Amino acid sequence: MQRESDYSSSYSDLLFHRKIGEIIRARSENKEDIRQAIKKALDWTKIASILDLGCGYGWFEEALDGRCTLIAGIDMLEENRESFLKIARPKADEALFIRMRLPEPIPLASASFDLVAACYSLYFFPEVLPEVSRLLRPGGTAVVVTHSEAMLGEGEEFFRFRELKKLIRCFSAENGEALLRHYFSSVTVIDYKNSLVFAPQDSRDLSAYIAFKRVFINRDVDTAYVKERLLHELQVRGELRFNKNDTIFLVRR
């Protein structure tokens, strides 16, 4: 099974990663940033310490308001350290970045965090769930954001993304609740409905989005061919839509 290390090159170019975030926001039918949906669902009066698993450059922390006592991020890419700390430090008394490959045991004390976040990362390391339970304080919350197994489903009119589906099925919108209930007594499911919509004038954005997904796509089909075919279909059809339905899980011990 492919794991985080196989896909890491998608997330090592920070400027490109941010650009893709801007493209997703611009081409989304749902104009509410999913991070705002997460923030509205949490009781921030009870959150002083945050641990972010697969933190990347600080995507989740970028949207946070207020100030915490501690924000810690774990990521396997050293390239993300500087950016994560730059974002987290103004929002916490203490900011910490740990470079490690999950799901190895996390070198932090039990019951240390009010909030543990795993945003678009848990399908890489679902075996970390017992550690999430251990690290949460009594009354703490874990927030997990993940894709639907139908991600890029419209593209399967032309291609078969078997390896991508294998990855997402490690922890998806469809099976996430059942997996979480093995470790947590309370699971709340929030569906975030969305589609990415591209018009002919958005061909550069579509090209960039395909390039961002290249290490996922290349496992099944050559990315250059995918790009050529979808850009052709965009011009012929006048619009391409892609499933971007995600799910937010809020869990407590």
The number of beta carbons lying within 10 Å of the beta carbon of residue 96 is 15
CB distance 169 to 204 below 8 Å: no
Q: Which residues contact 197 (CB under 8 A, 6 or more apart)?
A: 27, 28, 29, 239, 240, 241
Q: Domain of 84: which CATH number? A: 3.40.50.150
**Parts of the chain with a pLDDT under 50:** 1-7
Domain region containing 198: 4-252
Helices (H), 29-156: 34-41, 59-62, 81-88, 129-135
Q: Is 191 left (phi over 0), alpha (psi -120 to 50) or beta?
A: beta
Q: What is the pLDDT of residue 214?
A: 84
pTM for the structure as a whole = 0.91
How many domains in the chain? 1
